[in-house]
Amino acid sequence: MPLVPGRLPRTVPQGGLYVPATKQTIPEGTVVGIDHLAIHFDPDIFEKPYEFLPERWDGEAGKELNHWLLSFSKGRTDCIGKT
């Protein structure tokens, strides 16, 4: 389970946000959010997302995946206890 239940709101920055999957642009100032579990269990991001595979974090591929690890949030709502 995620440490933060529900969605953490984010405001789309100036210029909007283009979403390639839908070929649409979300206007700037729009408040958006997504549940962490929707990302953590997305097979397009994490291969075999329901399996415990610590080796997925090895090497350059692991560094790229770190962008999608939201267990402790990101940005201004990042966990203050994270080192």
Which tokens is 27 given?
Answer: 């206007």
In a domain, residue 30? The reply is yes
Q: Looking at the 3D structure of the chain, how many domains does it have?
A: 1
Specify the pLDDT at position 56.
93
| Cα dihedral sign, 55-7-72-30 | positive
Whether 2 and 36 have beta carbons less than 8 Å apart is answered as yes
Report the candidate in 67, 61, 15 with the shortest Cα–Cα distance to residue 40: 67
Any domain includes 3: no
pLDDT in tens, the chain (83 residues): 555 566 778 899 999 999 888 999 999 999 998 888 888 899 999 999 999 999 999 999 899 998 888 777 676 667 677 65
51: containing domain: 10-76
**Of 35, 67, 37, nearest in space to 49 by CA:** 37
The pTM score is 0.62
Q: Is residue 65 part of a domain?
A: yes
Domain membership of residue 1 (yes or no) is no
Q: What is the pLDDT of residue 67?
A: 84
pLDDT score at 36: 81
| pLDDT at position 55 | 95
> 21 lies in a domain?
yes
Q: Are 8 and 33 in contact (CB under 8 A)?
A: yes
How confident is the model at residue 9, as a pLDDT? 80
21 contacts 8 by C-beta, under 8 angstroms: no
Q: Is residue 44 part of a domain?
A: yes
Within-domain flag for 83: no
Please give the Cα distance from 39 to 62 (Å, whole number).
Answer: 16
